[in-house]
């Protein structure tokens, strides 16, 4: 089985940050989306980032955010990458990558093969595409514990790096990696004891 890099998203406390580092995660996700139970303020993110230092990658998650919020978050948290989890276009991804000079990850909601094909549009604009489960209309765009048919992305050979998200937890992640060959796996609610509360 290939060894996949791990991202633990929705880190909001020092304890959960330390747990992610102990678990040898490559990245943490800091959520800058007020509607999420995992949301952090720029001040909280700055404190977590200072504690993380060079021990783990810091990815900021945004949903159709404006440049003011993005700029504040990047500066406060010293982010290593931006994760766009809304309806951001390839043009927007490219614009943000150029403006902030850090990698851009684009999350795409997947229910059909056509959703997977959409990733091709982000070649040259984003650095990583994250295939995530499509959530119900009106629900949060992620962190809902939903998965999709992993066969749709099995051994995906697209024009940019990729990762798998959506419904991953300790019981199914090894099988997900085996079936898809995902080089990166991303979980949030799958390692929680309650919404927004990471289970160390």
Nearest to 125 by CA among 153, 161, 77: 161
Q: 153-156 long-range contacts, Cβ below 8 Å, gap at least 24?
A: 153/110, 153/116, 153/180, 153/182, 154/179, 154/180, 154/181, 155/180, 155/181, 156/116, 156/119, 156/131, 156/180, 156/181
**Cα 98 off chain centre by:** 20
pLDDT of residue 71: 96
Domains of the chain, residue spans: 5-193
pLDDT of residue 1: 47
Length of the chain in terms of residues written: 200
Kindly give the parts of the chain with pLDDT less than 70: 1-2, 135-145
In whole angstroms, give the CA distance from residue 32 to residue 172. Answer: 27
How wide is the angle at C-alpha 100 spanned by C-alphas 184 and 24, nearest 5°? 30
Tracing tokens 């004891």 back to the chain, one arrives at: 193
Q: Whole-prediction pTM value? A: 0.92
pLDDT of residue 134: 77
Q: Tell me how far apart the terminal alpha carbons of the chain are, to the nearest angstrom.
A: 25
**Strands 184-187 and 161-165, bridge-based pairing:** parallel
Q: Three-state SS for 63?
A: coil
Q: Three-state SS for 141?
A: coil
Q: Can you read off the two tokens belonging to residue 110?
A: 């997947």
Q: Can you read off the two tokens belonging to residue 157?
A: 């050979």
In whole angstroms, give the CA distance from residue 150 to residue 141. Answer: 18
| Host H or E run for residue 182 | none
**Which CATH architecture fits 5-193?**
Alpha-Beta Barrel (3.20)
């Amino acid at each position: 089985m290939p060894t996949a890099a791990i991202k633990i998203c929705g880190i909001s406390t020092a304890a959960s940050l330390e747990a992610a580092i102990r678990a040898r995660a490559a990245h943490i996700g800091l959520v800058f989306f007020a509607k999420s139970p995992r949301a952090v303020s720029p001040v909280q993110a700055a404190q977590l980032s200072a504690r993380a230092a060079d021990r783990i990658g810091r990815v900021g998650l945004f949903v159709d955010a404006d440049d003011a919020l993005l700029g504040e978050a990047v500066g406060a948290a010293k982010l290593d990458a931006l994760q766009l989890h809304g309806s951001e276009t390839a043009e927007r991804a490219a614009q943000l990558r150029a403006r902030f000079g850090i990698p851009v990850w684009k999350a795409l909601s997947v229910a059909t093969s056509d959703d997977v094909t959409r990733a091709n549009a982000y070649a040259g604009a984003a650095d990583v595409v994250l295939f995530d489960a499509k959530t119900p209309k009106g629900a949060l765009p992620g962190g809902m514990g939903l998965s999709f048919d992993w066969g749709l992305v099995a051994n995906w050979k697209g024009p940019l790096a990729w990762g798998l998200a959506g419904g991953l937890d300790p019981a199914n992640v090894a099988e997900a990696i085996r079936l898809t060959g995902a080089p990166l796996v991303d979980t949030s609610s799958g390692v929680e004891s309650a919404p927004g509360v990471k289970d160390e």
